[in-house]
């Protein structure tokens, strides 16, 4: 070849690789390591809530006899541990989604579930419908398939079916699915009400597309009455999960802890069978040992962990809302979530949240995620996401006061 | 919609999804569960070799104090645990591949590494060069990107550079990489000698493509002198890993156990940086707890486990070779591997190994993998793969005798 420059492989990369960019969230995670930074950035569960003693007991029990340990440390089936899938199926049934283990695929966190669904549905140029803003990790998971995003209109909207179809055809693709985080959405904290869920299902039915329901935060409701899962509404209408257009992505990361890397997809048997092939090709199987520990936790302390998380994060949300009311200038507004981990803030139009972040970290040692990262089209420069899940109450108070001082100095 | 048939989503699937098929290896794994079947099918490590007591100790230690456990059960950096990456970098350096932690990405098994490399390089219609036969899991990992395969000619070959380029252009793509399992290949058990490695590097240099070196079995050498890793040869020629065209995929699955799901990629910093983005989008990170256990094992018993695996699998290989010599008809031939887990068998031209498998399971309760699965082009109907790693010596003897009886009855 003779010549070698800094990026010798650029001509050999797939076109998708050139579209994948570093995640601000992941980069910001590094800030958490610096103890003087108060981080409202990542949606990081509070480790003081992790059921560590139960985790110790679960690993001890799982590894107790040699034959059992040998099985859990071996290759295992791609669809996941049957006993864990049984537990998840019962958990889903209790939500009004009657199903069995054949409707469940175990994934390495719900992030992997989203990545698999992108692979299953999206060819380059196809359209994914999503709220704007929406979960950055979903945009990243889908990006490898080079899709186009169109804004899903729920509530009063002038979007017609033809406007969705025409926009998709303009990039030589079809509308392939609608993606939503219906409960306490990442990043906005907003929950879809019942009319919005009905509108979502009607739109999906008319466009003949599946709906991906990302339920990462669903268990963490502090107050108010829960609307049924979108999947439960569709199963009720269709009569069976196997005729449902809704694909539910669940995770143990927020109720137990992220480190096990165990989530799941609940969907029609036909779709699960397709996803099992994708799982095989992607990483063969998730750790059987970690699946066994997840099952132990699910069987012994799921409800207790949900109650613990709700109580703790509710107090933290209240503290952040109080601090915002006390410290923020009147030109700033924010959402009031009924659960989950996030508050969404809107700054005056002329402010740029990325500039604000640079100053906030440098001058006040406080961090958040600029909202623009959550918009596929680069909108939202004057928005930002605050997470109250990780810092303690004192640091929530202190961090919001610091952030308000930086904003007032602008 | 009105109509719903058995596969309502077929029109919505990505084109790649329709190309992904069930793995015979994975399906055959189910046979292992039936105790009367002697399985030579999966390349399954022997669980009696797993260092289970050290695993127990590693989990106990990792979870010992609450703060440390909290960190290992939290989200963690996508590139992997820095201390594990340091160990891997030293391990690679000892093989003649000087590198540091920035050249290492931790993956969920080497299967995930292969999947990421397909994503990084292959656009639909692009060509991957591979031996025929080659590792079925690699063909599956790459399949999501809809590539074309062309046979990599090593040894005496009439392939010219133009013949590779012209074939790739005929499907509107480019040659993107060469994939090899240089040591005790899956499925053939064959090792590339030094001239073949030099020829591989020269071909890759002239085609200006990277080489993917899948080193899954490299540690398990029973006898003979090892050729240097292809990556070590290239690093020596180029002066630094950061100018090397070789991408090395390693795994702890064969030396320790598969259940941790921990492997790695060693490559130039530029390529690792790209792969970190793919890891972020795919599953955020591999379990920090399992990475910590892998590091504990690496630091305390890597060499002992390598010695243990070599000794045990060597005896099993010898027993299978003896049994083949004793029982098989003269019309059958097989490879003699110097390491690894596999023997490759060639039947007379008129026999079909898939038919043989059906009869062998039904009539003699013995299983293997038909060789056709390992050919991208459907060749090799009269070939099959035998793995000696899982059954004990008596069952190896008995299983080969049973298989020979089925063959003699054909």
- Which tens digit of pLDDT belongs to each residue from B217-274? 999 999 999 999 999 999 999 999 999 999 999 999 999 999 999 999 999 999 999 9
Q: Are strands B104-107 and A175-180 parallel, antiparallel or unpaired?
A: unpaired
> For A234-278, what is the HEC assignment?
HHHHHCCHHHCCEEEEEECCCCCCHHHCCEEEECCHHHHHHHHHH
Compute the radius of gyration of chain A from its Cα atoms.
Answer: 22
CA dist B130 and A287 (Å) reads: 29
**B242 at the A interface (CB within 8 A)?**
no
- Burial of residue B327 (CB within 10 Å: 0-12, 13-18, 19+) is middle
What is the pLDDT, as a whole number, of residue B9? 83
Q: How far is B329 from chain A (nearest CA, A)?
A: 34
**B68 at the A interface (CB within 8 A)?**
no
- Which tens digit of pLDDT belongs to each residue from B179-226? 999 999 999 999 999 999 999 999 999 999 999 999 999 999 999 999
CA dist A260 and B331 (Å) reads: 51
Q: Using CB atoms, pick whichever of B14, B30, B59 lies closest to residue A145.
A: B14
ipTM given for this complex? 0.95
What is the pLDDT, as a whole number, of residue B268? 97
Minimal CA–CA distance to B252: which of A73, A159, A244, A195?
A73
Residue B385, φ and ψ in degrees, nearest 5: -110, 130
CA dist A146 and A342 (Å) reads: 28
Per the DSSP assignment, residues forming a β-bridge with B367 are B39
From A396-405, B84-93, B315-324, B366-375, the region with the lowest mean pLDDT: B366-375
Question: Which secondary-structure segment (H or E) carries A369?
Answer: strand A369-370
Q: How far is A93 from chain B (nearest CA, A)?
A: 23
Identify whether the C-beta of residue A178 lies closer than 8 Å to the C-beta of residue A332: no
Identify whether the C-beta of residue A218 lies closer than 8 Å to the C-beta of residue A337: no
Q: Are strands B148-151 and B175-180 parallel, antiparallel or unpaired?
A: unpaired
Tokens of B347: 């039947």
Residue B112, φ and ψ in degrees, nearest 5: -65, -35
Using a pLDDT cut of 90, give the percent of chain B over it: 87
User: Is B283's CB within 8 Å of A112's CB?
Assistant: yes
Kindly give, in sequence order, each residue whose CB lies less than 8 Å from that of residue B328, ignoring residues fewer than 6 positions away: B334, B400, B404, B407
**A395 at the B interface (CB within 8 A)?**
no
Identify whether the C-beta of residue A168 lies closer than 8 Å to the C-beta of residue A201: no
**A68 at the B interface (CB within 8 A)?**
no
* Residue in A with minimal Cα distance to B203: A1
- Which tens digit of pLDDT belongs to each residue from A243-296? 999 999 999 999 999 999 999 999 999 999 999 999 999 999 999 999 999 999
Identify whether the C-beta of residue B81 lies closer than 8 Å to the C-beta of residue B262: no
Confidence band, pLDDT 50/70/90 cuts, at residue A25: low
Using a pLDDT cut of 70, give the percent of chain A over it: 95
CA dist B82 and A191 (Å) reads: 38
Residue B145, φ and ψ in degrees, nearest 5: -100, 10
Give contacts of A261 with chain B, Cβ < 8 Å: 283-287
CB interface of A with B, residues 126-145, below 8 Å: 126, 137, 140-141, 143-145
Minimal CA–CA distance to B40: which of B385, B368, B399?
B368
What is the pLDDT, as a whole number, of residue A5? 41
Conformation bin of residue A109: beta by default, left when phi > 0, alpha when psi is -120 to 50: left
User: Is A257's CB within 8 Å of B73's CB?
Assistant: yes
Confidence band, pLDDT 50/70/90 cuts, at residue A157: confident
CB–CB contacts below 8 A, A to B: 264
Minimal CA–CA distance to A230: which of A185, A271, A183?
A183
User: Is A9's CB within 8 Å of B270's CB?
Assistant: yes
Buried b (16+ CB within 10 A) or exposed e, B377-388: eeebbbbbbbbb
What is the pLDDT, as a whole number, of residue A410? 81
Tokens of A329: 């200038």
CA dist A146 and A198 (Å) reads: 29
| Alpha carbon of residue A55 to chain centroid | 24
Check residue B364 and report its DSSP letter: I
**B60 at the A interface (CB within 8 A)?**
yes
Q: Measured at the alpha carbon of residue A271, what is the angle toward residues A267 and A272, in degrees to the nearest 5? A: 70
User: Is A284's CB within 8 Å of B174's CB?
Assistant: no
User: Is B108's CB within 8 Å of A111's CB?
Assistant: no
Max Cα distance, chain A (Å): 67
Q: What's the average model confidence in pLDDT over A349-370? A: 92
Confidence band, pLDDT 50/70/90 cuts, at residue B410: confident
Kindly give, in sequence order, each residue whose CB lies less than 8 Å from that of residue B377, ignoring residues fewer than 6 positions away: B132, B149
User: Is B56's CB within 8 Å of A48's CB?
Assistant: no
Q: 């093989």: which residue's tokens?
A: B95
Q: How far is B258 from chain A (nearest CA, A)?
A: 5
Compute the radius of gyration of chain B from its Cα atoms.
Answer: 22
Q: How far is A404 from chain B (nearest CA, A)?
A: 29
Identify whether the C-beta of residue A262 lies closer than 8 Å to the C-beta of residue A106: yes
Give contacts of A43 with chain B, Cβ < 8 Å: none
DSSP codes of every residue in B12-70 = GS-HHHHH----HHHHHHHHHTSTT-EE--S----GGGS-HHHHHHHHHHHTSSHHHHH
- Which tens digit of pLDDT belongs to each residue from B291-311? 999 999 999 999 999 999 999
CA dist B112 and B144 (Å) reads: 13
Confidence band, pLDDT 50/70/90 cuts, at residue A233: very high
CA dist A90 and A96 (Å) reads: 10
Instruction: Tell me the pLDDT of chain B averaged across its residues.
Output: 93
Which is more confidently placed, B378 or B326? B326
Give contacts of B260 with chain A, Cβ < 8 Å: 73, 287, 289
Does residue A18 surpass a pLDDT of 90?
Answer: no
Cα distances (Å, whole numbers) of residue A171 to A132, A207, B365: 19, 17, 54
Give contacts of B126 with chain A, Cβ < 8 Å: 14
CA dist B29 and B49 (Å) reads: 19
Cα distances (Å, whole numbers) of residue B187 to B264, B323, B397: 21, 19, 21
CA dist A91 and A297 (Å) reads: 13
Question: Which secondary-structure segment (H or E) carries B333?
Answer: strand B333-334
Q: Are strands A383-387 and B211-214 parallel, antiparallel or unpaired?
A: unpaired
Tokens of B77: 């950096």
**A205 at the B interface (CB within 8 A)?**
yes
Q: 């999503």: which residue's tokens?
A: A130
Does residue B4 surpass a pLDDT of 70?
Answer: no
- Which tens digit of pLDDT belongs to each residue from B116-149? 999 999 999 999 999 999 999 999 999 999 999 9
* Residue in A with minimal Cα distance to B273: A22
Cα torsion A36, A40, A44, A47: sign: positive
CA dist A245 and A247 (Å) reads: 7
Give contacts of B77 with chain A, Cβ < 8 Å: 26, 29-30
Instruction: Tell me the pLDDT of chain A averaged across its residues.
Output: 93
**B387 at the A interface (CB within 8 A)?**
no
Give contacts of A137 with chain B, Cβ < 8 Å: 281, 284
Q: 């079947």: which residue's tokens?
A: B37
CA dist A144 and B244 (Å) reads: 25
Per the DSSP assignment, residues forming a β-bridge with A39 are A367
Which of helix, strand or coil describes residue B85? helix
CA dist B404 and B38 (Å) reads: 13
Residue length of chain A: 410
**A243 at the B interface (CB within 8 A)?**
yes
CA dist B407 and B211 (Å) reads: 39
* Residue in B with minimal Cα distance to A50: B70
Residue B142, φ and ψ in degrees, nearest 5: -75, -25
**What stretches of A42-184 adopt beta strand conformation (E)?**
104-107, 127-130, 148-151, 175-180
Kindly give, in sequence order, each residue whose CB lies less than 8 Å from that of residue B157, ignoring residues fewer than 6 positions away: none
What is the pLDDT, as a whole number, of residue A31? 63
């Amino acid at each position: 070849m003779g010549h070698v420059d800094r990026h010798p492989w650029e001509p050999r990369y797939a076109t998708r690789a050139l579209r994948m960019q570093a995640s601000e969230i992941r980069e910001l995670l590094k800030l958490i390591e610096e103890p003087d930074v108060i981080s409202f950035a990542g949606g990081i569960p509070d480790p003081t809530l992790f059921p560590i003693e139960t985790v110790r007991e679960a690993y001890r029990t799982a590894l107790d006899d040699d034959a059992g340990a040998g099985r859990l440390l071996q290759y295992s089936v791609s669809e996941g541990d049957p006993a864990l899938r049984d537990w998840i199926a019962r958990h889903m049934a209790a939500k009004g989604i009657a199903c069995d283990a054949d409707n469940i695929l175990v994934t390495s966190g719900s992030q992997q579930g989203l990545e698999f669904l992108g692979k299953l549905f999206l060819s380059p140029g196809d359209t994914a419908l999503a709220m704007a803003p929406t979960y950055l990790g979903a945009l990243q998971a889908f990006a490898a398939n080079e899709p186009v995003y169109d804004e899903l209109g729920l509530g009063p909207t002038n979007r017609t079916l033809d406007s969705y179809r025409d926009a998709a055809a303009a990039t030589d693709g079809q509308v392939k699915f609608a993606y939503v985080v219906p409960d306490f959405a990442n990043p906005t904290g907003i929950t879809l009400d019942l009319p919005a869920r009905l509108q979502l299902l009607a739109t999906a039915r008319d466009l003949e597309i599946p709906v991906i329901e990302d339920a990462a935060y669903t268990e963490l409701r502090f107050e108010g009455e829960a609307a049924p899962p979108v999947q439960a509404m569709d199963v009720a209408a269709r009569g069976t999960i196997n005729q449902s257009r809704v694909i539910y992505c669940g995770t143990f990361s927020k109720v137990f802890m992220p480190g096990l890397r165990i989530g799941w997809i609940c969907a029609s048997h036909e779709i699960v069978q397709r996803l099992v092939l994708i799982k095989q090709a992607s990483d063969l199987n998730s750790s059987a040992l970690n699946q066994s520990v997840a099952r132990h936790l699910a069987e012994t302390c799921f409800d207790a962990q949900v109650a613990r998380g709700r109580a703790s994060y509710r107090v933290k949300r209240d503290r952040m809302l109080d601090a915002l009311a006390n410290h923020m200038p009147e030109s700033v507004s924010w959402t009031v979530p009924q659960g989950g981990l996030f508050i969404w803030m809107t700054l005056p139009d002329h402010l740029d949240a990325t500039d604000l972040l640079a100053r906030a970290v440098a001058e006040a040692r406080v961090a958040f995620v600029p909202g623009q990262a959550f918009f596929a089209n680069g909108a939202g420069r004057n928005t930002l996401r605050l997470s109250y899940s990780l810092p303690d109450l004192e640091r929530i108070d202190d961090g919001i006061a610091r952030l308000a001082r930086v904003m007032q100095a602008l």
